[in-house]
């Protein structure tokens, strides 16, 4: 099949949205005699005039050949998918060889069959993600009808939706992710297929689901995403504790935290709050409610040990009932962040600006979470400021080496537990 080609005069792709390093990779591959295109999410984004988060490249060069072109800056990764990562400092550009799609069989087991550009386009999930862009002659190459669907703001699978969802049920989560993020509508047939196939989600690898889920929480559209996940029954299957809370009278509290995280992400980028803070955003409203019913409603005042214990047991319960496991590091840090809130703003109201707490290397995460609580409840502003002052004073007099960004409100935490990709740190 011949693709539809959209040339320069037919689109308004702004090249300044495209990472110069991605352009460099494409040029080098072409100079070495291979074909190479920008593919997937980044093409969708530049057509929709959105700045892409990451840039993927597809090429006719085999992974070893890519390695020969970029030498030491290229790392070959992955067993199931052999991919080349080209490094530019902290940033990574992902280069994959054109691949053929899955066989007729249902769940994908292995797919390392090299293919043509057309096959590579057709193995992708949604039409809007199946376009190629050739930056050397500014043409968009469309084998799947993605161009029209982007302009019609429509989400549609490439190929038969029931089959595509059965082959890889994570695509249903991805569908909701794109609904939440772009506000696109879903084509009828695709929607019917999702409703029919949603039980299949438990056949997916838990780690992949968790990765899509966490990436969504940090996308700036976490609130609508969770709402769609709940509405379509996925939360019930994957995270029953969250579904249960959202069915109760305090659902709004959870959405308030998520909207706040979204606001911060949209304003400051991904570097400001990490995944353990996001996990705390999801679970803190449930935690507060548990403290309320287990202690305060009974006129009991829990001591701090009990508060810490409750945080850990809440996370443990959340995990055992969930389909997927958080990493141990992620859940213990989230528990720390949540419990520490009751030291920062104790139930008794008596605050002691303890030194020991300030020295904890994860204190800054708890402080950032207090910042989020302050955005939700401005009455906390004075306390929050006092803690920041105490923290800064401790940083100056502490035994640690001074931080290079000493005028920043507090040290930036680069730790993204479970983070898969290199992230650009916005706002630095
Ligand atoms: P984002 O902006 O969130 O990165 P994306 O569409 O770029 O969205 P990625 O996970 O970066 O998502 O994937 C890159 C591309 O790989 C997609 O655009 C799509 O073409 C293809 N892809 C990703 N996941 C799947 C999948 N489960 N099935 C088929 N194709 C997929
Ligand atoms: Mg992407």
60-94 pLDDT, tens digit per residue, is 999 999 999 999 999 999 877 789 999 999 899 99
pLDDT at residue 187 in the model: 98
Q: Is 322 touching ligand 1 by the criterion CB < 6 Å?
A: no
pLDDT at residue 426 in the model: 34
The answer to whether the CB of 382 falls within 8 A of the CB of 344 is no
Q: For residues 117 and 81, what is the distance between their CA atoms, to the nearest angstrom?
A: 17
∠ CA 259-263-266, nearest 5°, is 130
pLDDT at residue 268 in the model: 86
pLDDT at residue 65 in the model: 97
CATH of domain 1-152: 3.30.460.10
Pocket test for ligand 1, best of 48, 97, 125, 220 (most atoms within 8 A of CB): 125
The answer to whether the CB of 95 falls within 8 A of the CB of 22 is no
DSSP 3-state of 186 = strand
Q: Whose CA is nearest to atom 12 of ligand 1?
A: 41
**Residue 125: active-site member:** yes
The answer to whether the CB of 112 falls within 8 A of the CB of 99 is yes
CATH 1.10.3090.10 in the chain: give the residue spans: 243-397
Q: Is 56 touching ligand 1 by the criterion CB < 6 Å?
A: yes
pLDDT at residue 353 in the model: 86
- Collect all residues with Cβ–Cβ distance below 8 Å to 186 and sequence separation of at least 6: 154, 155, 156, 175, 179, 194
Among candidate residues 79, 61, 78, the one with its CA nearest the CA of residue 25: 61
Q: Is 41 touching ligand 1 by the criterion CB < 6 Å?
A: yes
CATH 3.30.460.10 in the chain: give the residue spans: 1-152
Task: Report the predicted TM-score, pTM, of the whole model to 2 decimal places.
Answer: 0.87
Q: Whose CA is nearest to atom 1 of ligand 1?
A: 41
Pocket test for ligand 1, best of 120, 129, 203 (most atoms within 8 A of CB): 129
Average pLDDT along the chain: 90
Q: Which of 125, 142, 262, 371 is catalytic?
A: 125
Positions in the chain short of pLDDT 50: 401-428
The answer to whether the CB of 103 falls within 8 A of the CB of 167 is no
* 239 CA → ligand 2 middle, Å: 25
pLDDT at residue 355 in the model: 76
pLDDT at residue 112 in the model: 55
Residue 396, burial from CB neighbour count under 10 angstroms (0-12, 13-18, 19+): exposed
* 56 CA → ligand 2 middle, Å: 7
pLDDT at residue 398 in the model: 59
CATH of 243-397, one of 1.10.10.10, 1.10.3090.10, 1.20.1600.10, 3.50.50.60: 1.10.3090.10
């Amino acid at each position: 099949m011949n693709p539809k080609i959209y040339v320069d005069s037919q689109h308004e792709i702004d090249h300044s949205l495209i990472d110069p390093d991605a352009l460099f990779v494409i040029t080098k591959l072409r100079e070495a005699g291979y074909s190479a295109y920008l593919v997937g999410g980044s093409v969708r984004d530049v057509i929709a005039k959105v700045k892409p988060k990451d840039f993927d490249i597809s090429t006719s060069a085999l992974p070893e050949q890519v390695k020969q072109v970029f030498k030491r800056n290229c790392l070959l990764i992955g067993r199931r998918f052999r991919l080349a990562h080209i490094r530019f400092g902290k940033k990574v550009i992902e280069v994959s060889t054109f691949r053929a799609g899955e066989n007729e069989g249902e769940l994908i087991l292995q797919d390392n069959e090299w293919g043509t550009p057309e096959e590579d386009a057709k193995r992708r999930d949604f039409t809007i993600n199946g376009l190629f862009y050739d930056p050397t002659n500014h043409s968009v190459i469309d084998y799947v009808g993605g161009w029209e669907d982007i302009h019609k703001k429509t989400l549609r699978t490439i190929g038969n939706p029931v089959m595509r969802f059965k082959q890889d049920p994570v695509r249903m989560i991805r569908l909701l992710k794109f609904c939440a993020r772009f506000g696109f509508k879903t084509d009828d047939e695709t929607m019917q297929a999702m409703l029919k196939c949603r039980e299949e989600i438990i056949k997916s690898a838990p780690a992949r689901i968790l990765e899509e889920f966490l990436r969504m929480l940090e996308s700036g559209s976490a609130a609508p995403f969770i709402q769609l996940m709940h509405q379509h029954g996925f939360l019930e299957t994957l995270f029953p504790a969250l579904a249960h809370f959202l069915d109760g009278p305090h659902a709004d509290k959870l959405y308030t935290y998520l909207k706040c995280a979204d606001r911060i992400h949209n304003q400051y980028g991904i570097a400001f709050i990490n995944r353990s803070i996001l996990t705390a955003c999801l679970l803190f409203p449930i935690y507060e409610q548990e403290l309320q019913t287990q202690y305060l409603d009974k006129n009991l005042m829990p001591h701090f040990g009990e508060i810490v214990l409750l945080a850990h047991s809440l996370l443990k319960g959340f995990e055992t009932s969930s389909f997927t496991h958080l990493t141990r590091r992620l859940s213990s840090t989230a528990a720390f962040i949540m419990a520490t809130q009751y030291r920062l703003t104790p139930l008794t109201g008596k605050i002691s600006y303890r030194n020991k707490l300030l020295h904890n290397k994860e204190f800054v995460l708890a402080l950032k979470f207090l910042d989020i609580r302050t955005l939700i409840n401005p009455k906390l502003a004075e306390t929050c400021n006092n803690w920041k002052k105490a923290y800064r004073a401790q940083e100056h007099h502490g035994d640690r080496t001074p931080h290079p960004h000493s005028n920043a409100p507090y040290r930036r935490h680069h730790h993204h537990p479970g983070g898969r990709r290199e992230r650009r740190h916005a706002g630095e």
